Amino acid sequence: MGPLDLLRQAVASTRAVTADRPATGLSHDDADDDAGTIATDSARNFDPFLLLRAFHSCGASVAVIGQVAGILHGSRELTGDLDLLWSGSPAEAPALVEAFSSVGACLVDDDLRPVPLALPAFSLPKVQFESAQASGDLCTPSLPWGSLPVGDFLSRALTVSDVDGLAVHYLRREDLIAMRCAVGRPKDLRRAAELERL
């Protein structure tokens, strides 16, 4: 089973887990350090494929990080958000505006203040996005990543393609593990250990 098949399987499992679950009032931003976003309302109807296809169609160069990247490497733990990394280059921002606009996304800054979906939003080190089927963080190497060479992680990201032409970029397993260990929350350490075993 290929990486995108694993992600489709995880999306189906997420829908099954959350189908009859009462609303919590919590979003991906409220996820706790142990359970993660699978325990929030962001996991309900979670399906990152619409946004991933929009990035591909619009020529937006982004790499999947976080647990969706873990799933692409074979992680069995479910998630309810889509975290992304891009270069922060102004030349790449118009494609992001087009992609997010095509799925009706809304943006907020790191302080949860609404940000217009326009080019200036993508001069920020990080924005959070929400659409009908996926929410998460869109990060750049300008964030304070400590000693992590995140720009290098982005430049050596893997690419997987589907039979219908969809191409998805995602971090290498060792780079994802390094990010997990640097953050150090219970869920990150658990997921890093799982990735080490795979």
Share of the chain above pLDDT 90, in %: 90
Indicate the pLDDT class of residue 29, thresholds 50, 70 and 90: confident
Q: Report residue 47: phi and psi, to 5°.
A: -155, 100
Segment 124-138, tens digit of pLDDT: 999 999 999 999 999
Indicate the pLDDT class of residue 28, thresholds 50, 70 and 90: confident
For residue 165, is pLDDT > 90? no
Give the CA angle between residues 42, 104, 107 to the nearest 5°.
65
Domains of the chain: total:
1
Q: Which of 85, 136, 86, 95 is nearest to 119 (CA)?
A: 95
115: DSSP letter: E
Range of the domain at 162: 3-197
**How confident is the model at residue 63, as a pLDDT?**
98
Q: Please, what is the average pLDDT of the chain? A: 96
Segment 99-120, tens digit of pLDDT: 999 999 999 999 999 999 999 9
User: Can you give the CATH number for the domain in which 153 is found?
Assistant: 3.30.460
Segment 36-60, tens digit of pLDDT: 999 998 999 999 999 999 999 999 9
Count CA atoms within 13 Å of residue 53 on its CB side. Answer: 12
Give me the mean pLDDT over the 176-183 stretch.
Answer: 96
CA distances 109 to 130, 179, 182, Å, are: 12, 22, 23
**How confident is the model at residue 81, as a pLDDT?**
97
Segment 55-94, tens digit of pLDDT: 999 999 999 999 999 999 999 999 999 999 999 999 999 9
Give me the mean pLDDT over the 176-187 stretch.
Answer: 96
Kindly report the pTM of this predicted structure: 0.96
**How confident is the model at residue 139, as a pLDDT?**
98
Indicate the pLDDT class of residue 188, thresholds 50, 70 and 90: very high
**How confident is the model at residue 187, as a pLDDT?**
95
How far is 72 from 177, CA to CA, in rounded Å?
13
How many other C-beta atoms lie within 10 A of the C-beta of residue 101? 13
